[in-house]
Amino acid sequence: MIGWNTRLETFKALDRCLDQALRLPEVDPLKSRIVIFSDQHRGDGRSASDDFLPNRHIYRYALIRYYRQGYRLVVNGDSEDCWETDPERILRAYSRTAYAEEKRFHDAGRAVRIYGNHDRDWADPVRVRKYLAPVLGEVSVHPALLIGNRVFIVHGHQGDPRADRSPVRSRWIVRHLWAPIQQMGWTDRLWPLLRRIGLLEYSRASANNYIRRERDQLLYEWAKSKRLMLIAGHTHRGMFRSFSKIDQIRKLQERLESALAGTMSREERLLALTARDRIRSVIRRSREELRRDKNRIRLDENPVPCYFNAGSCVFSDGITGIEIDRGSIRLVKWEVSDTVCAGEEKKRSWDLFVTIQRKIYESADLREILTRIGEPADLSREIKGRRP
């Protein structure tokens, strides 16, 4: 059960973020192209504790594509892992790579930065000018973003007892205990042990199922009460229309079972059977997570589609993000596919062994979602929110 104090602190902190959010009332989400990436957790570019390092090329590739297609970029917190290492080392490691791609969006006036708990340093404009400005140019970092009067983007750590209310202690633990463990390569051996003895309950939200679902619950309830569509990060757990990935997979399984009971061609039936087997395998692998969640917090049985989560850029096999594309909203993943490139890339005189592909996990009509959420609460009192 969520503690009353945690709920109260989270709601108050999110209210403050809404008050202080950068507002773009002129941007219509039904006509715009926006991509939201969260939780890059960039480190020093060398050590085993830099979680972003394996996905650095994928991230740049995705940004190149989005820039060409006219998207706005929202970097939604924990872009730099200042808990694990110093900002100057992070900026030095990626100034000519990831930051160079982000700078193109900033130079074109198509980028917004939001700070999270791991990069809360950017709440201080002095530190922004000292560290970020030399690589990104003139830049501001905001606590949150409100697009139009319906789409609210915030990192999502607000009110978290460990990430928000005890950041100094958490930062010390990550930098002086967890980072050295990662660098020595001990995490794979320690992780199962921490789960068995229960110490994982005191880990960061991105590594703890219970904390993640508590975060999900609170973010969902706040967004529902405000009648806003909230897009967060922080938990590293992709959410779409207030459903987690496993919830979406179960819905897909139900649709497949229904389709298999009907009439289809032999080829279609084989594809459906293969998909069903694959889904069953994913659900079996999630058995431990589901068992741990059995008596934990659940969202509503049929939740209002007001809560989305971009996931993270530190998965072992790629990065996830949220796209808003002229009336559509999508949860996507960019990952490496070990197939020889075809089509556009075959114009080259040599073949590539792999390609970076974009996979759509879920897509929906944004207008329908906003209609179901309902008209937003009166935000007139927040009119003092910051503008560009």
- pLDDT greater than 80 at residue 139: yes
- pLDDT greater than 80 at residue 329: yes
Rounded to whole angstroms, the Cα distance separating 95 from 108 reads 18
Pairing of strands 144-147, 22-24: parallel
Domain 4-242+299-380: homologous superfamily in CATH? Metallo-dependent phosphatases (3.60.21.10)
Residue 72, beta-bridge partner list: 34
| CA nearest to 47, candidates 236, 180, 150 | 180
pTM of the model: 0.80
- 208-225, pLDDT tens digit by residue? 555 667 888 999 999 999
Pairing of strands 141-142, 111-114: parallel
For 173-182, the CB contacts below 8 A with 24+ separation are 174/83, 174/84, 174/204, 175/83, 175/84, 175/85, 178/49, 178/84, 179/47, 179/49, 179/84, 179/85, 180/49, 182/47, 182/48, 182/49
Q: Per-residue confidence at 137, pLDDT binned at 50, 70, 90?
A: very high
- 148-182, pLDDT tens digit by residue? 999 999 999 999 876 655 555 554 554 445 555 55
Q: Per-residue confidence at 247, pLDDT binned at 50, 70, 90?
A: confident
The whole-number pLDDT of residue 385 equals 42
Domain boundaries along the sequence of the chain: 4-242+299-380, 245-296
Six token digits for residue 342: 């075809």
The count of other CB atoms within 10 Å of the CB of residue 9 is 18
Range among 108-122, 169-183, 257-271 rated most confident: 108-122
Extended beta strands in 58-131, E state: 72-76, 111-114
Query: Which DSSP helix (H) or strand (E) runs through 89?
Result: helix 87-94
Pairing of strands 229-232, 307-309: parallel
| CA nearest to 331, candidates 305, 363, 303 | 363
**Cβ atoms of residues 331 and 362 within 8 Å:** yes
Rounded to whole angstroms, the Cα distance separating 144 from 23 reads 9
The whole-number pLDDT of residue 269 equals 92
